[in-house]
Amino acid sequence: MEMGCAECGCGISGPWQTWADWERSVARFRRVEREMYPEDLNDRVAAVATGEPEAIEWALTFLEVDPWCFHSGYLEVRLLRKIANLDLGAAAATRLRALIVEVGLTPRSRKEFKAYMRLARRMDSPELQNALIGARDGDSPRSEIATAVLRALAEAR
Burial of residue 49, with CB atoms counted within 10 A of its CB: 0-12 exposed, 13-18 middle, 19 or more buried: middle
Give the length of the chain. Answer: 157
Residues 6+ apart with CB under 8 A from 85: 49
| pLDDT, averaged in runs of 10, over the chain (157 residues) | 48 71 87 84 95 95 88 92 93 95 82 90 95 90 92 91
Structural contact between residues 15 and 24, judged by C-beta atoms closer than 8 angstroms: no
The pTM is what? 0.77
**CA nearest neighbour of 93 among 36, 142, 67, 131:** 131
| pLDDT, position 10 | 56
Of all residues in the chain, what percent are helix, strand and coil, respectively (each to 5)? 70, 0, 30
Query: What is residue 137's three-state secondary structure?
Result: coil
| pLDDT, position 11 | 58
Alpha carbon 128 to its chain centroid, in Å, reads 19
| pLDDT, position 83 | 95
DSSP state string for 69-127: STTHHHHHHHHHHHHHT----HHHHHHHHHHHHHTTT--S--TTHHHHHHHHHHT--HH
